[in-house]
Structure 1
């Protein structure tokens, strides 16, 4: 009998990977033009160029901005940075019971298969405050199966562990710093997380540093109830990150208004940090089909770069 990772991979290959084969790689490889390893040439700067590619020495000599061009690497290295923290185990209210961790798993396995089947290398970082696991960059279907197994193993381990990190917000900053230390050569980095790190956005500097060297795509996974809590009467609410429990009346208009204001502030802060870090950001909800959402992400990327 096929294992759970093998069944998941077969389903993803049948449902979506054939539809995206050649599209995702083509959509994102173009971002490496002018950003490879081997220097090729100089040309005058245009307003569409990334200012990070300006050669300041030549610009100073010629009194005109010039950018450096590089030959593109034949093979692409990609990394998946996967947030397995307590808040990612929230959700599952949809008919299929898929929570944020389920969305993360399907996205991760699908992306891994898409990139490795073209001969590209892919690594992964599995992160929680109490668990950090690095899957070295490899290629091939067997490697994808190993990654799916590692995600399932880590998720089960964290679900059954007495969480020693309760009371401590997710260290998203630490997760991004670990990613930067592991991805040594220029890579395409997918960060799949809810980017919830307590009351403050403390990870912007680390995200900016990661973006300075790599092409970074942030995929935010959210649950509808995190954005708009329905009227459920009196409920006991527990903060997945801190473990704090509070009895609230969800039918209270004052509570609903205060909650919406807090959500707006949080979402605005996260979106602003993404923009300042110059990161391509997508948001996927647990009430969406993650695979269809991935197809739309690819189409959006291709339209944007056309």
Structure 2
């Protein structure tokens, strides 16, 4: 009899606890961290992309990016905004140009995902949208970074109506990864109005106090003025611009009379894609925009990783990693050669 009463009490307590948990809203750190969609995305990308990239973007104790480690990795010319404590005065005296030291980052690396979730990100001419690319890239890089004890954070921007981009403080662990992905999926598709990428970059510069790796993921379709903010962000942080593109944005096929609608302003335009002169003008405008973006990234000192909705993401990441390592090796060899030549050169006033 007493056993039956205890069983009833236990069942009643469990029922009340489950009802209370269902009625109580979860806090910001517990928002749907175990959703089936997030777990399935993690499993799919871990098998298709992460296993192929593991060990190439970073090893067990060293990363591909530079930071506050103890081992000297490279020397480069001083840029405005660099920490003067990292100036190598011996090399500066020999080359007559200020040079700063770059150190190989150890396990403790902070990475930020600066995510543009405006209306143009929802575009995709095929089965894959640019937003799908954004989700997959963020998931892959977050998996690779968190499994070695690094910290990840994010700044999410939903459009011009989003006056204050939401921020996720950097933490480590799988729980932080799931929380970031859940917040990313829960962000609304878009807010009406043109994208102001400058606001997103300024928000990222304000919240990231410590030197970090910044992945700016966007299609860079925005109102002018973001180039200066990107350069200011790159002065303090290691910035990688991840550009999302779709082939239909570069060239229009012959589809006849079509109606195009702006994904951000909802403005509609009736065009004739059968006109070869119009398609030629469209391609010329797209090429001019490509040249403008390349110039903006070069002036800011930012490397660009381009991801296309019609190309495998893992191949693009592998190619970017190899090119980055090649450039770092070439720059290091050139600096060593210049240092060696300056030390072996005879004095100017020698007979």
- Distance in 1, Cα, partners of 2:140 & 2:132: 12
Q: Residue 5 of structure 1: which of 38, 47, 71 is its match? A: 38
Residues 43-122 of structure 1: matches in 2 within 5 Å? Answer: 49-52=76-79, 55=87, 64-69=96-101, 72-74=104-106, 75-91=108-124, 93-94=125-126, 97-122=127-152
Q: 1:136 to 1:254 in 2, by over 3 A?
A: same
Residue of structure 1 in register with 2:200 after alignment = 175
Return the offset for 1:71.
Answer: 5.4
- CA–CA distance in 2 between the matches of 1:241 and 1:209? 27
Describe the superposition over 1:175-232 as per-residue Cα deviations: whole angstroms up to 9, x where unpaired: 111111111100011111000114x4x2111000000000100011011111111111
Structure 1: gaps of 5 or more residues? none
SS of residue matched to 1:287:
coil
Which structure 2 segments of 5+ residues have no match? 1-33, 330-351
CA distance in 1, matches of 2:326, 2:95: 35
User: Separation in 1 of the partners of 2:97 and 2:252?
Assistant: 51
Q: TM-score, normalised by structure 1?
A: 0.84
* Aligned residue number for residue 270 of structure 1: 293
Deviation at 1:81, TM superposition (A): 0.7
Using structure 2 for the length normalisation, give the TM-score: 0.74
Match of 2:189, SS?
helix
* Correspondence for 1:36 among 68, 77, 84: 68
The 1:273/1:11 distance shift into structure 2, 3 A limit, reads same
**Aligned pair partner of 2:157 in 97, 115, 127:** 127
User: Which stretch of structure 1 is more off in the superposition, 51-60 or 107-116?
Assistant: 51-60
Partner of 2:323: 300
User: How far does residue 17 in structure 1 lie from its aligned partner after superposition?
Assistant: 1.3
CA distance in 2, matches of 1:185, 1:18: 30
Q: Distance in 2 between matches of 1:192 and 1:230?
A: 27
Query: Match for residue 172 of structure 2?
Result: 139
1:145-160 equivalence runs, <5 A: 145-154=178-187, 157-158=188-189
Matching residue of 1:204: 227
Corresponding residue for residue 219 of structure 2: 194
Question: Paired residues, what number?
Answer: 285
Q: CA distance change for structure 1 residues 57 and 16 in 2, over 3 Å: closer, same or farther?
A: closer
CA contact (8 A) 1:80 1:191 kept: yes
Of 269, 273, 280, the residue aligned with 1:250 is 273
Q: Secondary structure at the match of 1:125?
A: strand
* Residues 107, 291 of structure 1: 8 Å contact kept: no
C-alpha distance 211-249 of structure 1, shift in aligned 2 (>3 A): same
- Report if the CA contact (8 A) 2:122-2:189 is conserved: no
Distance change (3 Å), C-alpha of 1:31 and 1:118: closer
Deviations 1:2-45 (A, max 9, x none): 6100100111111221222232125994542xx5388x99xxxx
Q: Which moved more, 1:283-292 or 1:82-91?
A: 283-292
| Pair member with larger Rg | 2
Tell me if the contact between 2:112 and 2:154 (Cα under 8 Å) persists in the aligned partners: yes
Aligned mates of 1:51, 1:230 — CA distance in 2? 47
Counterpart Cα distance in 1 of 2:62 and 2:265? 37
Distance in 2 (alpha carbons) for counterparts of 1:70 and 1:221: 29
Distance 1:102 1:70 in 2: 35
2:29 paired residue number: none
- In structure 2, distance between residues paired with 1:175 and 1:2: 28
